[in-house]
Structures are given as structure tokens and as C-alpha cells.
Amino acid sequence: MSDTSVDGGTRAPAAVPAPRARRPAARSPRRRGPLNRLLASARYAAPALLGYAAVRAVGLVLLALWDLKHGTHSLHRLSTMWDAYWYQDIAVHGYAGSKPVPGPNGPYQAYAFFPVYPALIKLVWSLLPLPVNYAALLVAWVGALAAAWGIFAVAARLYGRRTGVIAAALWGVTPYAVVESMAYSELVFTAFAAWAMYAAVTHRWIWAGTLSTLAGLSRPTGVAVAVAVGLGAFGALVVRWWRRRDRKTKAPAWWRPVLGAAIAPLGFAGYIGWVGLQKGSWDGYFKVQEAWESQFDFGRSTYKVLRAMLMNAEPVWLTDAMVAGTLAASVLLFAVCVLQRQPLTLLVFSGMMLLLALGDAAYFNSRARFLIPAFALLLPLAAGLARLRTKGAAAAVLAFAALCSASYGGYVVFVYTNSP
């Protein structure tokens, strides 16, 4: 076609648009550096961490008010009471240098306590000008924040950010949340367990296995994390097999879940084996635990205590009633988790934690403390609170729960004579 117009004139050639300057391609989140990813993740989790810190601060303020009234020192007490002595003694003297303490069922020995928390105490104590008890408390509090972050990450991944924020705060207002302010290993363990669960639900199986190993070196209940990661990895392999049948869907590499499952139990099994070598017997760790009457009896001890509470006319301690209520509520919440079809890894983890708490023959009141890391049981409650339409309703519920938890925590720390 010519450039001549219909009236016989010559048509001017069309102007060619100047090429636009290309903007540099935005870097995807996966291509950002590790520090930038960490900062972005921290900003995303900030409301959850602030909410968790706020509800735990309520408990600390109440304990401080108790200090003013009775002339006690709550921080010192939180950092030294009950099992805190053992962790700090191991940090200072090591396992071989820690002296056994006579007990009614045999000597109490440091080998009953797993090594990660004492190792972290020793590290912080050697780096900072703090007494060992406050170094232990600092490690525990940092572990609690890391655990709240992991709980938020799991809940936000499955249910959304609002539910994640509420879940982290709910973990800070459980009846025995005062333990989250104490120099106990449950906090470091919960941090490893929560992030292991997050790695599992996001299919990062090698990370899940590594974190499971660290959890297994933190507490004996690390076996629950190992079993959960192992079965979750098996489920991932089954899904991979089904995807391979559909040639249009790319199946993930098979070796990642296999390797994750293989390394998951190494921490727990390794420490049990090491204690066995120190004691000259494969069951050396379990013999050490006999001094605390800690052994798995399939729930017979739990049944006897609950039956006595219901059948006997003797007065019941408030702590006994609270532990019994916590166990009953946990069983109910686990049933809800099953009905809501939580991911397999979370269900196995919660179920194993419940099984260990109900089936242990040790001191009855410790069962509620054993369930502190079972954060997935709280997810149905968090999701329900997140759906409340009334403005401020969820915040009001959490504030009231924080006051109740703080009041009961003060009772556990200053009134009740035995350990939680």
C-alpha cells in the first residue's frame, strides 16, 4: 500500500514511538538475601510477637506487684526454681561434674536433662556479664519469642495472618503459661518444634529433620517431633507417587523427605545412646528417670489420680483441678483438630504429645507443663476468635485470659509448694 491519501496528498509517515527505558526487574522474595528475608519475615510477624510479649508482660507485672507486697524477687525466683537448678548446674559443671541429689526413689542425676538448653545457657553466660541464672532466663525468654514466631508462622500459613497473631497470643495465656517466663527447657524445645512443623507444612523436609534433631536434643518429648516429621515425610512420598501417575504434574524430589525422616530422630536417639554409654547399659537413661518415677505406664497413673479426685471426699488442690481440666480440654481440642483435617504432621505431633502427657507415670501436675509445646491444639480456638465480627472482641477475650493466666501463674509461683 502506498502512502498516498484518498484526496491525492501524500500521507506523513507514522511516528515511531521512542523505546521506553527498561526498569530493572524486581527481585523475587526467594532471590533476596537471607538478611532481607529475615527482616521481611520479622515485619510480617511483628503483630504476633508484640501481642505475645504484651500478654506475657501482664504476668510479669502481676509478679512484680507481688514483689512489692511481700518483699520477694520474682525474677530471681523464676530463674532458679525447681528444675532450673539442674540446667544451670550442667551449664557450669557439665554432666560429669554435676553431683547427684539423694531422692526417695534413688539419686536424682543430671543425665535426666537434655543438653541443648544448658549448652545455650553456657554460651550466653560466657559472652555476657550476667549471673548464670539470669543467662538461663534470657535464653528461655528468647526461646519463647522464637516459639511464638514459629507458632504464628504455622497458623498464618494454614489459616491466615490474623489467626496467626491470635494463636501466638493464645499460647501466652494458657493456664500454665507462667512456665513461659521461667528458666525451663520447654521454651527452647517449643521453638524448635514449631519451626520443624512449619518446615514440614511447607515441604522443607531437610530443615524439618534438622530442627527435629535439635528438638530431640532439648527434651525427651523430642520423640514426638521425630515421629511427626517421619510420618509427614512418608505422606509426602505417597503424594509424590500419586503425582507421578499424573505425568502433567511434576513430583518433588523423593530424596528430600527420605533424608528429612532419616535425620529427624538422631537427636533424641543420640542422647539416649550417649547416656547409655556413660552408664554402661543401653537403658541407662531410663534407669536415671526412675528416680523421678518417670516412665510410660499407658495412662494407669493418670487414671488413678483422676479417679481419686472424682471418688474421694478429700479436698482437691487447685493445681490438680487445673491440670485435670487442661488434659480434658486438650483431648477435646485434639478431636476438633482431627475433624478440621489439620495437616498430618501437626496431628501426629499433637497426638504424640497428648499420649506422652497422659501415659507418663511421673508427678501428676507436670502433665499440663508437658503440653505447653502442643501449640497446634490451640489453632481451632485461634481460628474461631479470628472469625469474630464484633470489633475488639478477640482482643477483649485475650486480655481477660491474660489476667486469669497471670493470676493463676502467681499462685503457682508463690503459693503452691511443688513444681508445675
d(CA 215, CA 219): 7
Q: What was the pLDDT predicted at 251?
A: 57
pLDDT of residue 211: 97
Write out the three cell numbers for 167. Answer: 494463636
Percentage above 70 pLDDT, the chain? 89
How many other CB atoms are found less than 10 A from the CB of residue 83?
18
| Comparison of pLDDT for 208 and 319, the residue scoring more | 208
pLDDT tens for 357-383 read 999 887 788 889 999 999 999 999 999
Hey, what's the cell of 236? 509426602
For the cut 60, the answer to whether the pLDDT of residue 27 exceeds it is no
User: In degrees rounded to 5, what are phi and psi of residue 101?
Assistant: -115, 130
Instruction: Give which of 95, 123, 116, 282 is closest to 210, Cα–Cα.
Output: 116
Contact 11, 5 (CB under 8 A): yes
356: nearest Cα among 367, 364, 343: 367
Other Cβ atoms less than 10 A from the Cβ of 142: the count is 15
pLDDT tens-digit readout, 63-104: 888 777 666 677 888 888 888 999 999 999 999 888 888 888
More confident: 156 or 104 = 156
Question: What pTM was estimated for this model as a whole?
Answer: 0.88
- Given a cut of 90, is residue 411 above it in pLDDT? no
Contact 291, 106 (CB under 8 A): yes
Q: Which residues does 289 contact at the CB level (< 8 Å), separation at least 6?
A: 112, 295
Query: Residues in the chain, how many?
Result: 420
**pLDDT tens figures, 175-196:** 999 999 999 999 999 999 999 9
Q: Which residues of 194-204 are buried (b: 16+ CB within 10 A; e: fewer)?
A: bbbbbbbbebb
Summary mean pLDDT of the chain: 86
Cα 45 to Cα 65: distance, rounded to the nearest angstrom: 30
* Strand partners of residue 101: 108
- The tally of CA atoms less than 13 A away on the side-chain side of residue 197 is 34
d(CA 379, CA 365): 24
Residue/partner pairs of 93-99 with CB below 8 Å, 24 or more apart: 95/278
Return the domain boundaries, the chain.
45-295+391-414
CA atoms within 13 A on the CB side of 383: 17
pLDDT score, position 23: 42
Determine which helix (DSSP H) or strand (DSSP E) holds 45, and give its type and residue range. helix 34-70
| Res. 301 pLDDT band, cuts 50 70 90 | confident
Range name among 154-158, 248-252, 309-313 with the lowest pLDDT average: 248-252
Q: Lowest-pLDDT range, 130-144, 239-253, 405-419?
A: 239-253
Q: Copy the grid coordinates of residue 62.
A: 502481676
CA distance 128 to 144: 19
Question: Which pLDDT score, from 0 to 100, does residue 183 have?
Answer: 93
DSSP H or E segment with residue 36 = helix 34-70
